[in-house]
């Protein structure tokens, strides 16, 4: 027999306990592990919601609740705008086996009228809502994660082979501020792998070319150009304003300087390096895992390591490693997944063998060890050589 809306509501009221806004506030204050479900539409949620509430619009309730609240015994408080939608939602939850569900009388309007505190999320522009819509669908990103990406300040060392894909993907993902350190100009021989740059920009500073490409992709990205050579004199000053450092440099003096500066400032260093057909990447998070010097305490002697120009590199390889660096950076910003801290991923592209090695922090490390011997930044001499090392870690190429 068909039921009227009034009958449905009466039934729901008989089955679902209701709680006043004061009761809800008191419960949230004293109980742990209560799932607070906001069943309003996304737009309503964004304009203001109870602190700690999970957004689960009524239309997605049945589809998503089991991933949002996996344990059926979890106490749930559901609320909506005025108390009607949440009552019907709570009844559905009971039918799905959630035993301990209440609906908040009067909804968010009553909460606000009572002068109780609430949170307003970041307001996205209509363009941002569309641009990042595929991120919003992922629970690991969502609107809170996207807000973190937009607020993130990331420094890239080098706008070369590694820095190109990293910068493109970080900008596309919505990272708000990208600092780029590179003192070089675009050269024809770079274009085989450095996909930020184009033929018509040969001779242009790489940081300027990078800015043009990134702003064309996403007009509101803030690109901070540091068109200077990194040295012990400017590293601390440049690094201090950024959250995460991405090392895509092509030489040992810079690699050691980046490592040491990151340890001194306690900033994560997302490392990548390539050699001919081999690449590797890791995350050096000071004191949470090893640093680069835990693996290689001192640079190789001058003449022992070839540069990119001398050793050659397959054009697509930095793309692979740079994408891993972009991915690890995004995971660090979001706090999602398991970062490559204490692990190094190696790619051999000719055999397409990938392996991940565990790395340990060395208590005797001269930089991050228990009794560090390096206490100030060092400018190593530029060195190049022709003898190929046996491990890509001992190379410098980007």
Distance in Å, CB of 282 to Zn ion, minimum: 12
* Whole-number Å distance between alpha carbons of 207 and 160: 10
Q: Which stretch binds Zn ion (CB under 5 A): 127-135, 345-353, 359-367, 389-397?
A: 359-367
> Judged by CB under 5 A, does residue 295 bind Zn ion?
no
Helix (H, G, I), strand (E, B) or coil at 319: helix
Distance in Å, CB of 284 to Zn ion, minimum: 8
> How many residues lie near Zn ion (CB under 5 A)?
6
Cβ-based nearer residue to Zn ion, 110 or 359: 359
> Judged by CB under 5 A, does residue 102 bind Zn ion?
no
Tell which one of 365, 393, 397, 398 touches Zn ion (CB under 5 A).
365
Tell which one of 281, 291, 332, 344 touches Zn ion (CB under 5 A).
291
Cβ-based nearer residue to Zn ion, 205 or 366: 366
239-259 in b/e burial notation, b at 16+ Cβ within 10 A? Answer: beebbbbbbbbbbbbbbbbbb
Cβ-based nearer residue to Zn ion, 35 or 291: 291
Full DSSP string of 80-128 = -SSSHHHHHHHHHHHHTT--SEEEETTHHHHHHHTT---B-PPPPPHHH
Cβ-based nearer residue to Zn ion, 110 or 294: 294
| CB burial of residue 51 (10 Å; 0-12, 13-18, 19+) | exposed
> Judged by CB under 5 A, does residue 294 bind Zn ion?
yes
Full DSSP string of 10-78 = HHHHHHS-EE-HHHHHHHHHH-SS-EEEE-S-HHHHHT-B-TTPEE--GGGHHHHHHHHS--TTS-EEE
Distance in Å, CB of 367 to Zn ion, minimum: 5
Q: Which stretch binds Zn ion (CB under 5 A): 36-44, 129-137, 227-235, 287-295?
A: 287-295
> Judged by CB under 5 A, does residue 39 bind Zn ion?
no
Closest CA relative to residue 325, chosen from 179, 170, 147, 174: 170
Cβ-based nearer residue to Zn ion, 208 or 260: 260
> Judged by CB under 5 A, does residue 21 bind Zn ion?
no
Cβ-based nearer residue to Zn ion, 206 or 361: 361
> Judged by CB under 5 A, does residue 293 bind Zn ion?
yes
Tell which one of 104, 264, 368, 398 touches Zn ion (CB under 5 A).
368
Give, rounded to a whole angstrom, the gap between the first and last alpha carbons of the chain.
Answer: 72
- Orientation of helix 5-15 relative to helix 84-95, angle to 10°: 60
Distance in Å, CB of 341 to Zn ion, minimum: 13
Which spans of this chain sit near Zn ion (rule: CB under 5 A)? 291, 293-294, 365, 367-368
């Amino acid at each position: 027999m068909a039921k009227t809306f009034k009958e449905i509501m009466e039934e729901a009221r008989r089955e679902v306990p209701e709680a006043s806004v004061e009761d809800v506030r008191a419960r949230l204050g004293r109980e742990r592990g209560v799932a607070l479900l906001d069943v309003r539409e996304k737009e309503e949620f964004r304009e203001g919601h109870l602190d700690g509430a999970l957004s689960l619009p009524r239309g997605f309730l049945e589809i998503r609740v089991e991933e949002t609240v996996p344990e059926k015994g979890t106490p749930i408080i559901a609320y909506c705008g005025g108390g009607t939608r949440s009552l019907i939602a709570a009844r559905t939850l009971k039918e799905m086996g959630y035993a301990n569900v209440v609906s908040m009388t009067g909804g968010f309007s009553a909460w606000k009228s009572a002068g109780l505190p609430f949170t307003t999320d970041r307001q996205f522009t209509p363009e941002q809502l569309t641009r990042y819509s595929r991120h919003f669908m992922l629970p690991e990103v969502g609107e809170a994660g996207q807000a973190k990406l937009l607020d993130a300040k990331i420094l890239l060392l080098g706008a070369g082979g590694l820095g190109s894909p990293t910068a493109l993907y970080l900008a596309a993902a919505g990272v708000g501020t990208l600092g780029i350190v590179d003192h070089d100009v675009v050269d024809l021989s770079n274009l085989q792998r450095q996909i930020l740059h184009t033929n018509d920009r040969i001779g242009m500073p790489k940081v300027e070319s990078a800015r043009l490409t990134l702003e064309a992709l996403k007009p509101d990205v803030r690109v901070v150009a540091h068109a200077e050579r990194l040295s012990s004199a400017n590293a601390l000053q440049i690094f201090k304003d950024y959250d995460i450092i991405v090392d895509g440099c092509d030489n040992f003096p810079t690699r050691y300087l980046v490592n040491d500066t990151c340890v001194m400032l306690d900033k994560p260093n997302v490392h990548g390096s390539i050699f001919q057909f081999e690449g590797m990447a890791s995350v050096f998070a000071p004191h949470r895992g090893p640093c680069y010097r835990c693996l290689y305490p001192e640079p190789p002697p001058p003449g022992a390591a070839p540069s990119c120009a001398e050793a050659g590199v397959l054009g697509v390889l930095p793309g692979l490693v740079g994408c891993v660096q972009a991915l690890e950076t995004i995971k660090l910003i979001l706090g999602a997944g398991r970062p490559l801290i204490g692990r190094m991923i190696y790619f051999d592209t000719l055999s397409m063998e990938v392996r991940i090695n565990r790395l340990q922090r060395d208590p005797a490390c001269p930089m991050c060890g228990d009794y560090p011997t390096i206490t100030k930044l060092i400018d190593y001499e530029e060195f190049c050589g022709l003898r190929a090392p046996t491990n890509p870690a001992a190379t410098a190429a980007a």
